[in-house]
Amino acid sequence: MVSVSEGNSVTLKTGATKILRENEVLWMFGSQDTVIAQIYKKAGNISYADDERFRDKLQLDHQTGDLTISDIQIPISGDYQMKITGSRLTKMKRFKVIVREDTQKITEGEPVHLQTGVTELQEDDLILWTFEDALIAKVNRESSENSVYNVNDERFKGRLWLDERTGDLTITNTKSTDSGVYELQIKSSNEVSYKKFNVLVCLNMLKHTVGDSVTLQTDVTELRNDGRILWKFSDKDILIAELNRATNQTLFYEGPDGRFRDRLQLNQRTGDLTIRNTSRLQFYCSSKIPCYNVQVFLFYVVLGQNKEKTVSGMEGDSVTLNTDIEIQEDGLILWMFGPEDCPIAKGETKEKISTYDDADGRFRGKLNLNYESGSLTITNTRTEHTGVYKLQVICSRETKYKTFRFEYNRDIHSPYCHCHQLYSCVASLPFITPLQFQTI
């Protein structure tokens, strides 16, 4: 399997260092093995099929027979076969080329649109959408069947929408558990096309510098005359501010340790809360939850700083990224890699753990996720595994973040390298505490 970003080039290798004089190389595409490129070494001929889909996109290496395909699009993703024939042997090799979309990062609650790249489906097309190997949606133009499916835990119930014309899939009211890899197959009578999507659903994060004033907004234009606002802090619902429009009363509380003393201000019209002179705080906002005539809004406050932790190892080592935390029973573990934050591992329960190959398959068969601790082990590491790893652990009452950098320790005689892993920049995990208010 070869995964490539749409519009980029990919080279399919024969595995040969040199094509012999009597050899012939054929490259074929699709279920009918249509010949798209050919080398006949003896005659010195290189030829390409007159196929509009591949026009000006194919390039053969006359020494090795390798095929380079440029400007990859969904119509030319699919199954490729290479065949080398000669007087002594015949060699065959198959490739599955998948078009990959860049990681889509969205905020929890926002919709995500996964596009097939097809303008209009043909009469015999079959669209299959899968998430973590489970079928979640299907469009069958031949039978006029459009279906969405609830996986075992019904996580997508009432949130999937299919475009009958293009086969595009929309997921509404997204949740953190929707993070992961979505795969698309487009089947027709002659061929199969493939596409892969990485989706990362994040909390709505409001970052501020130490010392800033931070305003947490109620999204209320104007409170009613009988409206009442209650602002509470932490999972213990510690009351820190109160606004009662009926009695024209405004009250502030400094908290059990005095952390909010002389720092709070309420907007009399909207109920917005301003915290002045913040100290080592970052704010994360979740969705609002309506309940009859009461609205509850949660704002997540992260205490501490998410410093990067460096892990060193030698090539071929197994490296474990230790979180040093205990995962709660309802915890969701997300591991991401690289500048695009590609999802590589996810744990929802001890029994429900998923690992992903990444775009180029670099992690195939190399990842082990420990659900109890959230730690991730990469086995038989190579240069391609070095880089930045990010961890997000989401629970009902808190969310924790951590960043790791894995790099090779090139000097094995260094006095600081006394084991296979070297840890530095050790930092405490940030702890997210919910801050909430109620309108009554």
DSSP annotation string for 100-161: EPPPEEEETTS-EEE----SS--TT-EEEEEETTEEEEEEETTTTEEEE---TT-TTTTTEE
Say yes or no to pLDDT of 304 above 50. no
* Residue 299 belongs to domain spanning: 210-304
| Residues 322 and 388 both lie in one domain | yes
- What pLDDT, in 10s, does the model give residues 331-381? 788 999 988 888 899 988 888 888 887 667 789 889 999 988 899 999 999
Say yes or no to pLDDT of 100 above 70. yes
Domain presence at residue 426: no
Domain presence at residue 419: no
| Distance between first and last Cα of the chain | 56
Say yes or no to pLDDT of 328 above 70. yes
- Cα distances from 375 to residues 227, 322, 335, 371, 378, in angstroms, run 47, 5, 9, 7, 10
Domain presence at residue 79: yes
What is the residue type of 374? G
Say yes or no to pLDDT of 1 above 70. yes
| Residues 161 and 217 both lie in one domain | no
Averaged pLDDT, 291-307: 49
> What pLDDT is stored for residue 292 in this prediction?
35
> What pLDDT is stored for residue 359 in this prediction?
60
Point out the domain boundary residue: 47, 75, 98. 98
> What pLDDT is stored for residue 70 in this prediction?
94
> What is the average pLDDT score of the chain?
80
| Residues 260 and 341 both lie in one domain | no
| Residues 116 and 175 both lie in one domain | yes
- The total domain count for the chain is 4
Q: Choose among 424, 423, 427, 335: nearest CA to 385.
A: 335
| Residues 317 and 387 both lie in one domain | yes
Point out the domain boundary residue: 200, 224, 244. 200
> What pLDDT is stored for residue 280 in this prediction?
47
> What pLDDT is stored for residue 321 in this prediction?
94
CB 215 within 8 A of CB 274: yes
Token pair listed for 147: 């279906």
> What pLDDT is stored for residue 387 in this prediction?
92
Length of the chain measured in residues: 440
Please report, for the domain that includes residue 196, its CATH number: 2.60.40.10
Domain presence at residue 135: yes
| Residues 14 and 94 both lie in one domain | yes
